[in-house]
């Protein structure tokens, strides 16, 4: 978060708790907004870790904040591309540090990807990208509600993970 965003959130909290002597954890949960970056990271993280209850909450939050499903599909597909690249590089005996350098991503993302792809088949990961492509096309060519279409994609991916 940027300084201005943090200051704005603290100002909201101060106004909300003006007559109180202490700020409680519940006050913070009620007043402070979650960042979009957090929701998007949580979306992919909970999808691929099969945490369906949290995933449903995140999907609703992203819908309420007006995030475009086409953008969200792109994020999921990009995460899958990272998984595919990590899987290929691991098969070629690269270590996590080398993979992070080659892919130009944070080592923690590589660590999470390695954990995810360790027992996964490369072709199964590629199939997931194809599913994302199909739903991306549906979003762009169909008159069906875009959030409903995106939700169907998430359910389809959940079946295959």
With contact defined as beta carbons under 8 Å apart, do 158 and 47 qualify? Answer: yes
Percentage with pLDDT > 90 across the chain = 55
Mean pLDDT value across residues 53-68 = 84
Mean pLDDT value across residues 81-103 = 97
Measured CA distances, 127 to 55, 85, 100 (Å): 21, 14, 24
33-37, 121-125, 133-137: which has the minimum mean pLDDT? 33-37
Stronger pLDDT, 8 or 153, i.e. the higher one: 153
For 104-156, give the DSSP string.
T--HHHHHHHHHHHTT--HHHHHHHHHHHHHHHHHHHH--S-HHHHHHHHHHH
pLDDT at 41: 75
65-69, 76-80, 100-104, 147-151: which has the minimum mean pLDDT? 65-69
pLDDT in tens, 116-132: 999 999 999 999 999 99
pLDDT at 88: 97
Name the band, by pLDDT with cuts 50, 70 and 90, for residue 48.
confident
66: tokens are 């007006």
Name the band, by pLDDT with cuts 50, 70 and 90, for residue 34.
low
Name the band, by pLDDT with cuts 50, 70 and 90, for residue 10.
confident
């Amino acid at each position: 978060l940027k300084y201005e965003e943090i200051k704005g959130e603290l100002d909201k909290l101060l106004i909300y708790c003006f007559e109180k002597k202490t700020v409680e954890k519940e006050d913070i949960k009620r007043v402070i907004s979650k960042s979009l970056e957090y929701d998007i990271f949580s979306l992919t993280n909970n999808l691929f870790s099969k945490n369906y209850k949290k995933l449903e909450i995140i999907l609703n939050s992203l819908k309420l904040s007006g995030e475009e499903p086409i953008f969200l599909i792109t994020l999921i597909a990009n995460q899958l591309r990272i998984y595919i690249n990590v899987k290929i590089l691991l098969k070629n005996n690269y270590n996590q540090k080398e993979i992070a350098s080659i892919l130009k991503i944070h080592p923690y993302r590589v660590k999470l990807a390695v954990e995810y792809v360790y027992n996964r088949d490369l072709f199964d990961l590629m199939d997931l990208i194809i599913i994302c492509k199909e739903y991306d096309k549906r979003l762009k060519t169909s008159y069906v509600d875009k959030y409903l279409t995106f939700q169907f994609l998430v359910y389809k991916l959940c079946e295959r993970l």
